[in-house]
Amino acid sequence: MSPKLRVFVISLVIVLPLDQATKQWIVEKIHYADRIEIIPGLFDLTHVRNAGGAFSFFADGPHEQRMVFFIGTTLIAIVLLLVFYRNLESEEVLPATALGVVLGGALGNLTDRLRYGEVVDFLDVHLWGGYTWPTFNVADSAIVIGVTLLVLEIFLNREKEEGNQDGNTDPSGPSDTPDSSSDSPAAANSTL
């Protein structure tokens, strides 16, 4: 098993069951719209349902159109994630981990839509000034973490490429072996 496949599968196998288990626990233990205060003024568990997308996008649309839209876009996203994964080199573990985490989150929310017709959300974070962040779930968190890892990977690769463009084209770094041109007086003066 290649390193990229190993981390991809591990990420997926952690995120998807964790997402579904936490949602099942919420559905069984907390009545709809009830709230359990965990950290006063900061964090609650709240059983809510989101018929729409992020920030309740398209939540008021007709049920059939919502289902077609969200299931269709999720399936397209899953295909794109698998295409990106397939194009990774076998040693690219950070992007493979990120893609596995995002896929786990996408499958978790897709499972909710197929099962309930909406997504179960329950993590309720209160911010400054009485503002409460829109309630979310483990799948949403996984998608954000995975996308953050992908962005981090892009920046890390950009720094590597910029470092290589500064005159060092060998990714292993500068060589300690002298080259034959350093024997000339001009070369010796240029190194001083």
- What is the arrangement of strands in the sheet containing 43-50, beginning at the earlier edge strand? 35-39, 43-50, 119-125
**CA angle in degrees (0–180, nearest 5) for 110-58-67:** 40
What residues are paired with 132 via a beta bridge?
126
Kindly name the residue from 140, 170, 179, 183 that is annotated as catalytic.
140
Q: Which two tokens stand for residue 50?
A: 């989101």
Closest CA to 146 of 5, 12, 3: 12
140: annotated active-site residue: yes
121 is catalytic: yes
CA distance 159 to 165: 10
Number of H helices, E strands in the chain: 5, 3
Catalytically annotated residue among 44, 112, 121, 124 = 121
Does residue 89 contact residue 123 with C-beta atoms inside 8 Å?
no
- Give me the active site residues, please: 121, 140
